[in-house]
Amino acid sequence: MSRSMSMRSRRDLPPPQQTIEKLENMVAGGNYYEAQQMYKSTSARYIAAQKYLEALDILQSGALVQLKHGQVTCGGELAIMFVDTLVKGALPYNEETFDRIRKMYDAFPRISVPHFLGDDYDDDGQKLSEAISAAKVRAESCSSFLRAAIRWSAEFGTSRNGSPELHVMLAEYIYSESPETDMTKVSSHFVRGNDPKKFASMLVNFMGKCYPGEDDTAIARGVLMYLSQGNLRDANLLMDELKDQLKSADLEIPKTDLIQFIKYLLPTLERDAYPLFRTLRQKYKTSTDRDPVFEELLDEIAAKFYGIRRQNPLEGLFGDMFRI
């Protein structure tokens, strides 16, 4: 395309508000698929003309209206295209754009689905099975959108791990909306977030419905993940918040060897005491062997706090855990 033709095509593009109103009416009339194709093709023309802000307006409007009408797959696709456009335009992470992402995140449906379901359904088994399938679609759609946003914020923001606020949003959505909660994944996002208090609330909620023996493992995993990032402050904050919230509910932190190990570990890391750290690992090895990732986390903690070089840095389970 010649330069003059390119300039003319940019001038020929109508103001985005005209397109937005037309397509919103189309969705309101139930023409979801047709509107979706037009959202994609129209925004592509604005992007080709490097009119990124106009394309963002169209894509955000489309995501919100499709999600409002329960079209999760369509809305999620447009939300991801919104993030892709931020990347194409090399647009920086800022509060205004974060608010736009949060607005789309808030539009994803929240529908309670029972966790920890067995294989034996009651007479409404078909309905329950359909509800679980729909929940998986919602969780994957929103998660894909937020993971894309985190990658963008890591590239065009100030935090190497991506926006802490986006990590907290993703952790909350996975925990509350996924019918098969992956606590390792949930915790890995909370520890890259900035809200240990909210993380503690989630753990207290989990303790009220998990299987026996999962409660202390979830607590230890969260603390060790913080420590593997070199974050002793939030590891301590998490334990303090857990104690306070459980006390308010007339409950206690589990009294197990694994929790005892965590209680000894935290003050040990406040001083130059590698021999004591090594002794603790040996003494409580039976407890830390309950989760295969604990040994890798402890190796990373030794590297962060005592300069002990890992055999295979960022490989194996540890590397998978913090991959976006």
Does pTM surpass 0.85?
yes
Are the C-beta atoms of residues 133 and 157 closer than 8 Å to each other?
no
- Taking the CA atoms of 97, 102, 107 and 109 in sequence, report the sign of the dihedral they define: positive
Asked if residue 121 has pLDDT above 50, the reply is no
Residue 18: how many other CB atoms lie within 10 Å: 9
Q: Looking at 240-280, which runs of residues are DSSP E strands?
A: none
**Using one digit for the tens of pLDDT, what is the confidence trace for 28-40?**
999 999 999 999 9
**Using one digit for the tens of pLDDT, what is the confidence trace for 251-274?**
899 999 999 999 999 999 999 999
Looking from the CA of 9 toward its CB, the CA atoms found within 13 Å total 15
pLDDT (0 to 100) of residue 318: 57
Asked if residue 156 has pLDDT above 90, the reply is yes
The one-letter amino acid at 75:
G
Of residues 138, 11, 287, the one with CA closest to residue 146: 138
Enumerate the domain spans of the chain: 181-324
Q: Share the mean pLDDT of the chain.
A: 90
Asked if residue 116 has pLDDT above 60, the reply is no
Rounded-to-5 percentages of helix, strand, coil across the chain:
70, 0, 30
pLDDT (0 to 100) of residue 120: 46
Instruction: At 83, list the tokens.
Output: 């993030």
**Using one digit for the tens of pLDDT, what is the confidence trace for 237-253?**
999 999 999 999 888 99
Architecture of domain 181-324: Alpha Horseshoe (1.25)
pLDDT (0 to 100) of residue 317: 57
- pLDDT (mean) for 112-126: 54
Largest CA distance in the chain: 75
**Using one digit for the tens of pLDDT, what is the confidence trace for 194-227?**
999 999 999 999 998 888 889 999 999 999 999 9
**What b/e readout covers 298-312, taking b as 16+ CB neighbours within 10 angstroms?**
bbbbbebbeeeeeee
Higher per-residue confidence, 175 vs 129: 175
Are the C-beta atoms of residues 92 and 53 closer than 8 Å to each other?
no
DSSP conformation class of 179 = S
pLDDT (0 to 100) of residue 185: 94
DSSP string computed for 129-198: HHHHHHHHHHHHHHHHHHHHHHHHHHHHSS-TT--HHHHHHHHHHHHHH-SS--HHHHHHHHTTSS-HHH
**Using one digit for the tens of pLDDT, what is the confidence trace for 36-73?**
999 999 999 999 999 999 999 999 999 999 999 999 99
Asked if residue 21 has pLDDT above 60, the reply is yes
146's CB contacts (< 8 A; 6+ apart) are 105, 166, 169, 170, 173
The one-letter amino acid at 69:
H
- pLDDT (mean) for 226-242: 97
Looking from the CA of 253 toward its CB, the CA atoms found within 13 Å total 21
